[in-house]
């Protein structure tokens, strides 16, 4: 995976990210935590550390799924 500095910070983010609008369930199927966990685990496995989300994705549902996953795994990654 290739990484780039995030702005003027010391953070290096993957050039490929995971878009998470679909986790909100408003534009397709309804995801559950286990399905989201599998998607995010695969992303982490291949070196993706950039997750794109917004508060409007399922009225915070997407963010809740992501937060739950991150809190159970190495948040620093």
Say what the pLDDT of residue 77 is: 65
For 34-62, what is the mean pLDDT? 90
57 noted as active-site residue = yes
Nearest residue to 31 via CA among 43, 20, 42, 46: 20
Q: Which residue out of 57, 62, 65, 66 is catalytically annotated?
A: 57
Say what the pLDDT of residue 27 is: 74
Residue 61 and residue 23: Cα distance in Å, rounded? 7
Q: Structure pTM? A: 0.86
């Amino acid at each position: 995976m290739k990484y780039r500095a995030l702005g003027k910070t010391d953070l290096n983010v993957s050039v490929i990210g995971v878009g998470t609008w679909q986790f909100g369930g408003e534009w397709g199927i309804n995801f559950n935590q286990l399905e989201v966990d599998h998607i995010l685990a695969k992303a982490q496995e291949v070196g993706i550390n950039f997750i794109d989300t917004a508060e409007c994705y399922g009225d915070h549902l997407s963010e809740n799924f992501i937060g739950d996953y991150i809190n159970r795994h190495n948040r620093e990654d």
